[in-house]
């Protein structure tokens, strides 16, 4: 244990795939990084997700660790970058749903904002329940604005697979709103083609 007390030694050991060193580093910095992340998120659960992702990123990219530099600074940088990525994605999603809500109100499809809120929540929940890759592809297309070809290259899958997942997503959304005439509007907003 004493041999792994120094951050520099830990970094070198982690780079070689040493899980024990990784666990020691995790225990040493988890709470500090959590406190740091909370200063940005103001939400403990979000901060926990960010710090967890930080350590996942560190382990996945262990071969890229620069052992000549401070591993502590590297961890803080990953945490900050993870927060920024999360924040940007959340902003894009929020902007999408806010725009959807505004358009619905503009079209005067409903005068009841409470009912509208419930429908927006229902749409969010329907998307959240999609299979993981299906949800990821929908997000990349609708929230990130990527074309099918770009998604296929980014995820290393065929365009046919992307199309198939998008079809599944639309089908599930359509099913969730089958009793609701707002589906046609949602379908338009999502660019649904039968």
Task: State the pLDDT at residue 117.
Answer: 76
Overall domain count for the chain: 2
Query: Could you read off the pLDDT of 152-190 as tens digits, one per residue?
Result: 998 999 999 999 998 888 888 878 877 665 555 555 455
In this structure, of 2-6, 16-20, 87-91, 100-104, the range with the lowest mean pLDDT score is 2-6
Does residue 194 register a pLDDT over 60? Answer: no
Please tell me whether the overall predicted TM-score, pTM, comes out greater than 0.75 for this model: no
Q: Which residues span the domain enclosing 137?
A: 107-189
- As a whole number, mean pLDDT of residues 132-148 equals 85
Considering the domain architecture, whether residues 157 and 118 belong to the same structural domain is answered as yes
Of 54, 86, 118, the position where a domain reaches its end is 86
Of 86, 119, 145, the position where a domain reaches its end is 86
Question: Is residue 183 in some structural domain?
Answer: yes
Contact 101, 122 (CB under 8 A): no
Query: Could you read off the pLDDT of 98-131 as tens digits, one per residue?
Result: 776 676 666 555 556 677 777 778 888 888 898 9
Considering the domain architecture, whether residues 20 and 77 belong to the same structural domain is answered as yes
Task: State the pLDDT at residue 158.
Answer: 92
Q: State the Cα–Cα distance between residues 161 and 100, nearest whole angstrom.
A: 27
């Amino acid at each position: 244990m004493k041999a792994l007390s120094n951050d520099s030694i830990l970094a070198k050991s982690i780079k070689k795939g040493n899980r024990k060193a990784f666990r020691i580093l995790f225990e040493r910095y988890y709470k500090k990084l959590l406190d740091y992340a909370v200063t940005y998120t103001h939400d403990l659960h979000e901060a926990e997700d960010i710090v967890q992702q930080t350590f996942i990123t560190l382990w996945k990219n262990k071969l890229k660790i620069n052992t000549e530099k401070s591993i502590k600074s590297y961890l803080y940088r990953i945490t900050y970058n993870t927060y920024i990525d999360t924040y940007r994605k959340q902003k894009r999603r929020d902007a999408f749903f806010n725009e959807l809500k505004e358009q619905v109100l503009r079209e005067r499809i409903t005068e009841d904002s409470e009912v509208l809120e419930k429908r927006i929540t229902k749409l969010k929940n329907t998307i959240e329940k999609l299979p993981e890759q299906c949800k990821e592809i929908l997000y990349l297309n609708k929230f990130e604005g990527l074309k099918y070809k770009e998604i296929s290259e980014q995820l290393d899958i065929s365009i046919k697979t992307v199309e198939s997942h998008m079809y599944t997503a639309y089908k599930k959304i359509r099913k969730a709103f089958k009793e609701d005439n707002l589906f046609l509007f949602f379908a338009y907003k999502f660019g649904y083609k039968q």
